[in-house]
Structure 1
Amino acid sequence: MVSSRTKYIMSMGDIKRKDNSILLKNQKGNSYLPIESVKEIYCMNEVNVNSKFLDLAAKAGITIHFFNYYGYYSGTFYPKENLVSGNLTIKQAEVFLNKRNVIAKAFVQGIADNIYEVLYHYYRHGKSELKETLDWIKSAVPLYLQNDKINIKQILRVEGETWQRFYGDFKYFLPKDFVFNKMVKRPPDNHMNALISFGNSILYSKTVAEIYNTHLNQTISFLHEPSEGRFSLSLDLSEVFKPAIVYKTIFELVNTKRLQVTKHFDRKYNYCLLNTAGKKVFVQAIEERFDEVFQHNKLKRKISYKTAIKLDGYKLIKFILEGKEFKPFSLKEMV
């Protein structure tokens, strides 16, 4: 089930404050949520909010994510930042200027390692066609990244080729309706692009919320180019988790037919989107993935995927402040 502290709003309506409760008002009527029972709200449709409600949300520490009609992340409202550190921000900027490639390489190796683990699952179950990609990830990726003279553009090319090989292998273990040739984001043009875009948007917003609970500066990134109007560090951290969270969720939903082309998608003109029923199925599954607990090999304790995202933020802080090697989340850490 979706975490009791995470609320997804799929319909149009109003969100208001009613005493110390949250009032959700739509065509079906009114519903109330105790303020202490909510930590995150995902607005997946057009909703109206006012300053009175936002003030209540800020005091209660509630994060609110907004998405547009196509399911793309629009922005996040979160309380005034308490975990700010001028010293860390300065050092984070220094690391970007002097050691960006070191962290960027770590992210790309982490992406490749997790893609390997996801594909290897299908290889072990008889999909021998995946061997070429598995061998390439095992041998070529480390070889490219160990080159001290490689620049950021070349690092990004390695990342891009890794993803492309991954996409090219979908045809070996997914139904025909969910095979595709390339990523098309705005808007997605087929069923798989619709799922990936929706899942990536949710993962990105979840990562924004987790980084908020650290002292990191959201705008100083290492793999993605820092730019205006986005939290690019969340793009960095979320990339490593896409194979483990977004793609594993998609593959399971598609292969078990919990998501079906005829029931859960709308096609209009040149785009394809999850309908409301499809979004509900997907949201349920990905939230269960975020809350899934596993035994962490190195920490010797149980953590959730959501906690692992925040831990990667702390690992990055350790590298920035202490120079400790940064190794992002790996599916190999699970036992």
Structure 2
Amino acid sequence: MKKLLNTLYLTQEDFYLTRERDNIVIKQDGKVLNRFPYRIIDGIVCFSYLGASPSLIELCAENQINLSFHTPQGRFCGRFVGPTNGNVLLRRQHYRLADDVESLDFAKRFMLAKISNSRKYLLRFKRDHRDRVDVKLFEEIDNELVWALENVQVAQDKEMLLGIEGQAANQYFRAFNDMVLSDKETFRFNGRSRRPPLDCLNALMSFGYSLLTYECQSALEAVGLDSYVGFYHTDRPGRAGLALDLVEEFRSFIVDRFVFSLVNRGQLTAKHFEIKENGSVLLTEKGRAVFIENWQKRKHTEVEHPFLKEKVKLMLLPYVQAQLLAKAIRGDLDAYPPFLI
């Protein structure tokens, strides 16, 4: 099992990464702010425009330290990928399945997990806050999500699957305004908006999904799979299709649940956001710091994996699922077991 090491997050725009012998060094205006032995670092997520030195990139490549770059607002720009790990036979089989009709079965399993986990999250939220939500609305949404689950299993092609998934997502988002239990004006949800996010909830979700995608890409590449060749998300230049497939399983359980926890506990407020001239809403530097601090803490939460029946730290779940996916692709498992709450 992979060890849960530290992920280093650089949240300020003017931070620069470099190397001193076996240390990863953070600089600002030429001054050393901090240094870490590379052996304790598993990944680096950089929200800085200044980037990293070639020697630091070399250190990361030699030691399989994942290095990704984002804008200060959280939009993913790209990541540095060192030597490819894993068995070439696994990747060949992955490519064959992605081009075959069997890819529909994998796509269905990702979607079943997404919709099922979303439904179970709503059911739990309704149970925990029954006196503060519109119970009738939640029951209507639940009926629609049950319909979606039934139809995913009989979908004949990916176009049908895409339509079902879209309807399920629209129903799921209908509950979001009810799920904001405090400061409803600041966190009013106006429907899903991505590029750019147009309200505070969308800004938080987009930021969280970006971090989760990084985790899923790292996990897939660690087991030797190509994170850019998906089963549900079709090939598109620059899009990590398989990582996005894996993200679908965890959206509600890891990101949405976390976002509503931050909002409803008052850990993030209006002062943690800024509105741009084009109407986009972004986290401030302090907002990103609050988000990441709590994100790091949540990584260490343990849950019982429904397939393995073992306790697993939350942010090792992508690695566990990547391993199970690789086994299914190789034929060691009869079918891929998605993560189901």
Both structures adopt the same fold (TM-score exceeding 0.5): yes
Q: Does 1:70 align with 2:73?
A: yes
User: Structure 1 289/163 Cα, relative in aligned 2: closer, same or farther at 3 Å?
Assistant: farther
Task: Select between 73-82 and 197-206 the one with higher mean Cα deviation.
Answer: 73-82
Counterpart in 2 of 1:186? 195
CA distance in structure 2 between the aligned counterparts of 1:72 and 1:143, rounded to whole angstroms: 35
Counterpart in 1 of 2:153? 146
Displacement after TM superposition at 1:159 (Å)? 1.0
Q: Does 1:15 align with 2:17?
A: yes
Q: CA RMSD in A?
A: 1.8
Counterpart in 2 of 1:33? 36
Counterpart in 1 of 2:172? 166
Counterpart in 1 of 2:268? 259
Q: Is the 8 A contact 2:16 2:48 kept in 1?
A: no
Q: Does 1:93 align with 2:100?
A: no
Structure 1, gaps ≥5 residues long: none
Deviations 1:98-123 (A, max 9, x none): 21211111111100111011101121
How many residues of Structure 1 are paired with residues of Structure 2 in the alignment? 325
Displacement after TM superposition at 1:74 (Å)? 0.9
- Please show how residues 180-329 of structure 1 align to structure 2 within 5 Å: 180-261=189-270, 263-269=271-277, 270-322=279-331, 324-329=334-339
CA distance in structure 1 between the aligned counterparts of 2:51 and 2:229, rounded to whole angstroms: 31
Counterpart in 2 of 1:137? 145
CA distance in structure 2 between the aligned counterparts of 1:286 and 1:292, rounded to whole angstroms: 10
CA distance in structure 1 between the aligned counterparts of 2:166 and 2:188, rounded to whole angstroms: 18
CA distance in structure 2 between the aligned counterparts of 1:23 and 1:69, rounded to whole angstroms: 19
CA distance in structure 1 between the aligned counterparts of 2:337 and 2:185, rounded to whole angstroms: 36
User: Structure 1 168/33 Cα, relative in aligned 2: closer, same or farther at 3 Å?
Assistant: same
CA distance in structure 1 between the aligned counterparts of 2:171 and 2:149, rounded to whole angstroms: 16
Task: Select between 179-188 and 166-175 the one with higher mean Cα deviation.
Answer: 179-188
CA distance in structure 2 between the aligned counterparts of 1:8 and 1:204, rounded to whole angstroms: 15
Displacement after TM superposition at 1:172 (Å)? 1.4
CA distance in structure 2 between the aligned counterparts of 1:217 and 1:48, rounded to whole angstroms: 25
CA distance in structure 1 between the aligned counterparts of 2:38 and 2:152, rounded to whole angstroms: 48
TM-score (norm 1): 0.91
Displacement after TM superposition at 1:289 (Å)? 2.7
CA distance in structure 2 between the aligned counterparts of 1:304 and 1:179, rounded to whole angstroms: 32
Identity %, equivalent residues:
25
Displacement after TM superposition at 1:60 (Å)? 2.5
Task: Select between 107-116 and 281-290 the one with higher mean Cα deviation.
Answer: 281-290
Structure 2, gaps ≥5 residues long: none
Q: Is the 8 A contact 1:45 1:67 kept in 2?
A: yes
User: Structure 1 294/14 Cα, relative in aligned 2: closer, same or farther at 3 Å?
Assistant: same
Letter in 2 for 1:98: V
CA distance in structure 2 between the aligned counterparts of 1:89 and 1:49, rounded to whole angstroms: 30
> Moved runs in structure 1, 4+ residues, more than 4 A?
none
Displacement after TM superposition at 1:227 (Å)? 1.6
Counterpart in 1 of 2:45? 42
* Secondary structure at 1:280 match in 2: helix
CA distance in structure 2 between the aligned counterparts of 1:297 and 1:88, rounded to whole angstroms: 25
Q: Is the 8 A contact 1:211 1:218 kept in 2?
A: yes
Displacement after TM superposition at 1:237 (Å)? 0.3
* Secondary structure at 1:49 match in 2: coil
Q: Is the 8 A contact 2:8 2:44 kept in 1?
A: yes
Q: Is the 8 A contact 1:110 1:327 kept in 2?
A: no
Displacement after TM superposition at 1:321 (Å)? 2.2
CA distance in structure 1 between the aligned counterparts of 2:234 and 2:306, rounded to whole angstroms: 32
Task: Select between 10-19 and 20-29 the one with higher mean Cα deviation.
Answer: 20-29
TM-score (norm 2): 0.90
CA distance in structure 2 between the aligned counterparts of 1:301 and 1:86, rounded to whole angstroms: 30
User: Structure 1 109/48 Cα, relative in aligned 2: closer, same or farther at 3 Å?
Assistant: closer
CA distance in structure 1 between the aligned counterparts of 2:5 and 2:110, rounded to whole angstroms: 32
CA distance in structure 1 between the aligned counterparts of 2:154 and 2:22, rounded to whole angstroms: 57
Q: Is the 8 A contact 2:84 2:224 kept in 1?
A: no
Deviations 1:193-220 (A, max 9, x none): 1111111111001111111111212222
Letter in 2 for 1:132: E
Counterpart in 1 of 2:61? 58
Q: Is the 8 A contact 1:220 1:226 kept in 2?
A: yes
